[in-house]
Amino acid sequence: MSGDGAPHEGAPGPEAEAAAGDRSEEELRAAYEEELSRITSSEVMLQAAVSLLNLGGWRLGPPAGAVAGEHGEPAAGQRDLEQVRDAIDGVRALLGVLERRLSKELGPLRDALSQLQLAYARAAGAGAGAAPAGAARGAAGGAPDGDQGQGEAAPESEAPAQQSSHRPGPAEASGKLWVPGR
């Protein structure tokens, strides 16, 4: 435990449970309110977007050339392209809000989203799962769900250019998902 007397809520272990048991409801409420005063909604949304990207990447399965299950990735039979699509849609929605506060810091997140969209489009296009072909166009081309069958979606090669006009970020360059602090 830290010496500040304020244990992190939800921390595992018997020490955290004992400390929480010794605190009154008022003390717990005050600690919770203090935590809420320090964190911003933008930070929570950014963490949610990163979590969605990581989950989406994991649900796609192992990268090309990797052995399934080697690093905890699901085998190809465990892919869930519907969840990958939901993760992509969730990140895209959060990016719209995050642009107002953190537009300059979102480059790596956009890069990771572009990479996930392209990987999803390849997997869906290869007949790899439950997602319909229109879903791949929607994810890669950025068309809203209701507009997928109407008009032409942008080709896969144009998706990263539409998302960002700068050099590939750490996610694209390394082939791995971006994680804050790394």
Band of pLDDT at residue 120, cut at 50, 70 and 90: very high
Residues 77-109: pLDDT tens digits?
A: 578 999 999 999 999 999 999 999 988 899 999
Question: Which whole number is the average pLDDT over 71-76?
Answer: 58
Report the C-alpha gap between 38 and 21 in whole angstroms.
24
Statement: residue 76 has pLDDT above 80: no
Report the C-alpha gap between 24 and 48 in whole angstroms.
31
Between residues 63 and 22, the one the model is more confident about: 22
Say which residues have a Cβ less than 8 Å from residue 44's Cβ, sequence separation at least 6. none
Q: Calculate the average pLDDT of the chain.
A: 71
Question: Which whole number is the average pLDDT over 123-132?
Answer: 63
Statement: residue 8 has pLDDT above 70: no
pLDDT at 116: 96
Between residues 178 and 129, the one the model is more confident about: 178
- Give one DSSP letter per residue of the chain, joined into a string: --TTS-PPTT--SHHHHHHHHHS-HHHHHHHHHHHHHH--HHHHHHHHHHHHHHHHHHHH-SPTTSPTTTTSPPPGGG--HHHHHHHHHHHHHHHHHHHHHHGGG-HHHHHHHHHHHHHHHHHHHTT-SSS-HHHHHHHHH---GGGTTSS-PPPGGGHHHHH--S---HHHHHTS---TT-
pLDDT at 78: 73
